[in-house]
Amino acid sequence: MGRPPDPARRERTLARATDYVLGHGLVGLSLRPLAAALGTSPRMLLYDFGSKQELVAAVLAEARRRGAARLAENLPPQATSPEGHLRGIWAWFSEPERAGYVRLMFEVHADGLVHPENYPNQAEAITGWFNALNTTFRDIATGPDDTVAPTLVMAVIRGLLFDLTTTGDRRRTDHALDRFCELLWH
């Protein structure tokens, strides 16, 4: 009989694998180099996660969990204003320290267009923001079930992040966010 699974080891491995993917991305991810970087073996990765696909799914879920927790910890109180909340979201996501999260988000979106079977929960990750954003931006929403307002906010943030990531033009993208806020609230 084989050794029983060790949940603590799996969690440690997941944390380190998530750090690795945030630093290196998913493109060309191979179990052998990943295992070497983590000080384990490909066999142990498969033992703990079942397959490379399940490992990647766990890493993406952990990255989303970390990102959401850190965003919640670092945003100004929601009571300030919806505009302040939007500016806080932009400030947090656009910081250079978040580059790994932003690159991973775009990498998953792009790969998901070609290989949607690899990311069965991708739509849930996007729609999961609707309730939080709808509550925050109720002054631009048309009702409690409005998904257009949060979709618009997410599209602008994603577009500006893509622009910032590819061009590095912080001044222009910050000004574009300022203009978006003006259009919504002034």
Which pLDDT value is given to residue 27? 86
Which pLDDT value is given to residue 118? 81
Which pLDDT value is given to residue 78? 52
pLDDT tens per residue, range 112-125: 889 888 877 777 76
Element counts in the chain: helices (H) and strands (E): 9, 0
Q: What angle do CA 116, 121, 123 make, to 5 degrees?
A: 80
What are the start-end ranges of the E strands in the chain? none
CATH 1.10.10.60 placement within the chain: 1-63
Which pLDDT value is given to residue 1? 47
Task: Say if residue 144 is exposed, middle or buried (CB neighbours under 10 Å; 0-12, 13-18, 19+).
Answer: exposed
Q: Could you tell me the CATH superfamily of domain 1-63? A: Homeodomain-like (1.10.10.60)
Which pLDDT value is given to residue 68? 80
Which pLDDT value is given to residue 139? 64
Name every residue whose Cβ is closer than 8 Å to that of residue 183 and which is 6 or more positions away in sequence. none
pTM for the structure as a whole: 0.81
Which pLDDT value is given to residue 51? 93
Q: What angle do CA 52, 65, 146 make, to 5 degrees?
A: 115
Which pLDDT value is given to residue 180? 95
Q: Which residues of the chain are modeled with pLDDT < 70?
A: 1-5, 75-80, 125-136, 138-145
Which pLDDT value is given to residue 84? 84
Residue 181's identity, in one-letter code, is: C
For the CA atoms of the chain, what is the radius of gyration?
A: 19
Which pLDDT value is given to residue 79? 46
pLDDT tens per residue, range 151-184: 888 899 999 999 999 999 999 999 999 999 999 8
